[in-house]
């Protein structure tokens, strides 16, 4: 998962200057590389080559290693990643103040994956993931308020507080799933529906390095390939399945190579533009009738598995800090945008202030809105309750009549 990127900024016709910069080594025995960043004047695009961003399995050609974005996209992606980062920080704090209960699995560090992938998805594409879902929930259209209020169990939460951290839904977004691996065949099923209806959409089905060993994942691979389902299977490999490193859980930790009959791409999941480019490639593959594809996003989570795991008993603090310093998806992207003169430090500071406000507003709802009335515990069991349906409560004297 450790890698280094040699960054070369494409020269633009008028007025360039060459800057020399030391590129920090990322735990690699290879000596320091000198990278050259050419500053673009006029600053219309950020462009660079990322030759080590991908590894291919059963593919002659892969996604383009030349990636770019314009100012608008750059600022948008930055803001979205920052919203997710700050939202998860807020969840962390609220959990510690006991406003959030049960399970809470934070996405911090993995932002480039959800923001980058969504940047390549069509608005009618579908997505399903596991329980580390808050970042994806935001990208699939739920507001920060909808997420934080759901975490605190309020009726303004996106599932009215019925689901909690692991069960948030939106149009084309099938959660949030608590059972490890179950979301993968479900995602293949959503892809089946797209194909059945003749739609040119994909379903992105995400799972972690821990879930990658589930039998039902391979069952889903088999049927997806047999029936050429437009499903992109994405392993968000953050190196650890709870407290077990991928090396200790997987005889073959190259998750993109796990299927001998489905092509795969390993992607540097900390490089948002590489993620987006790879997703474009995979999407093109799947929607052209070639069947499924597997992607492995090499990423990292800063927090432990969940709020009850400090995350330091199975890895060192140095490792975590090292990734933060040298490979953080947000700071590294911001630096690139600044160096390409697409935006200034001040503009980023202003975005950060906007983001802070968004989170604070959401927190206010999450902390002050009320829960559902207790009678509501009986609703939404059936979408079509039969006539005169009644539900039993906790004793023989407690029944709720349900009528539709």
Q: Which residues form the interface with other proteins (CB under 8 A)?
A: 126, 128, 158-160, 162-163, 167, 169-170, 174-175, 177-179, 182, 184-194, 196-197, 203, 215-216, 219-220, 222-223, 226-227, 379-384, 386-387, 389, 391, 396
Distance CA 200, CA 271 (A): 27
Comparing CB distances to other proteins, the nearer of 192 and 333 is 192
CA angle 221, 246, 167 (to 5 degrees): 65
CB atoms within 10 A of CB 90: 21
Q: Closest CB to other proteins among 26 and 402?
A: 402
Do residues 106 and 86 lie in contact, with contact meaning Cβ atoms separated by under 8 Å?
no
Q: Whose Cβ is closer to other proteins: residue 159's or residue 307's?
A: 159
Q: State the minimum distance, in angstroms, from the CB of residue 219 to other proteins.
A: 3
Nearer to other proteins, 119 or 163 (CB): 163
CB of 389 to other proteins, least distance (A): 6
CB 158 within 8 A of CB 168: yes
Kindly give the interhelix angle for 272-285 and 329-339, rounded to the nearest 10 degrees: 100
What is the nearest approach in angstroms of other proteins to the Cβ of residue 343?
A: 37
Query: Smaller CB distance to other proteins: residue 5 or 165?
Result: 165
Measured from the CB atom, the residue of 31 and 215 that comes closer to other proteins is 215
Please tell me the number of Cα atoms within 13 Å of 206 on its side-chain side.
27
Instruction: Return the axis-axis angle of helices 345-368 and 71-96, rounded to nearest 10°.
Output: 40
Q: In the complex, what is the shortest distance from the CB of residue 205 to other proteins, in angstroms, rounded to a whole number?
A: 9
Q: Least distance (Å) from other proteins to the CB of residue 175?
A: 7
Gap between the Cα atoms of 236 and 211, Å rounded: 10
Which residue number, 191 or 359, has a Cβ lying nearer to other proteins? 191
Separation CA 14–CA 42 (nearest Å): 9
What stretch of H or E contains 186?
helix 183-196
Q: How far is the CB of 161 from other proteins (least distance, A)?
A: 8
What is the DSSP track for 61-110? Answer: S-S-SEEEEEHHHHHHHHHHHHHHHHHHHHHHHHHHTTSS-S-----TT-
**Least distance (Å) from other proteins to the CB of residue 333?**
33
Instruction: Output 161 or 208, the one with its CB closest to other proteins.
Output: 161
Q: Which of 154, 230, 247 is nearest to 193 (CA)?
A: 230
Q: Tell me how far, at minimum, the Cβ of 322 lies from other proteins, in Å.
A: 38
Q: Hunting for tokens 């009986």 — which residue is that?
A: 378
Report yes or no: 191 and 229 within 8 Å, Cβ to Cβ. yes
């Amino acid at each position: 998962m450790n890698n280094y990127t040699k960054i070369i900024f494409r020269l633009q016709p008028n007025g360039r200057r060459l800057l020399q910069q030391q590129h920090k080594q990322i735990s690699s025995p290879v000596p320091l590389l000198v990278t050259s960043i050419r500053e673009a004047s006029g600053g219309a695009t950020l462009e660079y080559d990322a030759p080590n961003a991908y590894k291919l399995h059963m593919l002659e050609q892969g996604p383009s290693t030349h990636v770019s974005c314009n100012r608008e996209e750059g600022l948008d992606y930055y803001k979205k990643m920052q919203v997710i980062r700050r939202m998860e920080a807020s969840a962390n704090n609220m959990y510690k103040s006991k406003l959030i209960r049960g399970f809470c699995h934070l996405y911090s560090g993995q932002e480039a994956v959800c923001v980058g992938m969504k940047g390549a998805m069509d608005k009618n594409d579908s997505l399903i993931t596991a329980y580390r879902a808050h970042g994806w929930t935001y990208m699939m259209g739920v507001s920060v308020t909808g997420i934080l209020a759901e975490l605190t169990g309020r009726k303004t939460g996106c599932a009215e507080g019925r689901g909690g951290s692991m069960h948030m839904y939106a149009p084309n977004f099938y959660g949030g799933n608590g059972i490890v691996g179950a979301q993968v065949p479900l995602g293949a099923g959503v892809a089946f529906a797209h194909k059945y209806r003749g739609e040119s959409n994909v379903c992105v089905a995400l799972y972690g390095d821990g879930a990658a060993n589930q039998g039902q994942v391979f069952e889903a691979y088999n049927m997806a390939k047999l029936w050429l389902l437009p499903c992109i299977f994405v392993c968000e490999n953050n190196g650890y399945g709870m407290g077990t490193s991928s090396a200790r859980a997987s005889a073959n930790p190259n998750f993109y190579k796990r299927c001998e009959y489905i092509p795969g791409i390993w992607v540097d999941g900390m490089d948002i533009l590489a993620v987006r480019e790879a997703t474009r490639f995979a999407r093109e593959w799947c929607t052209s009738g070639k069947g499924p594809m597997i992607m492995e996003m090499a990423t990292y989570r800063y927090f432990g598995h969940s709020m009850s795991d400090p995350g330091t008993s199975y890895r060192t603090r140095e490792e975590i800090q090292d990734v933060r310093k040298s490979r953080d998806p947000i700071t590294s992207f911001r630096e690139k945008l600044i160096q390409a003169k697409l935006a200034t430090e001040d503009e980023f500071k202003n975005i950060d202030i906007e983001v802070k406000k968004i989170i604070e507003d959401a927190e206010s709802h999450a902390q002050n809105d009320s829960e559902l009335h207790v009678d509501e515990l009986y609703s939404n069991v059936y979408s079509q309750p039969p006539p005169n349906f009644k539900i039993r409560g906790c004793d023989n004297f407690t029944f709720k009549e349900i009528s539709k």
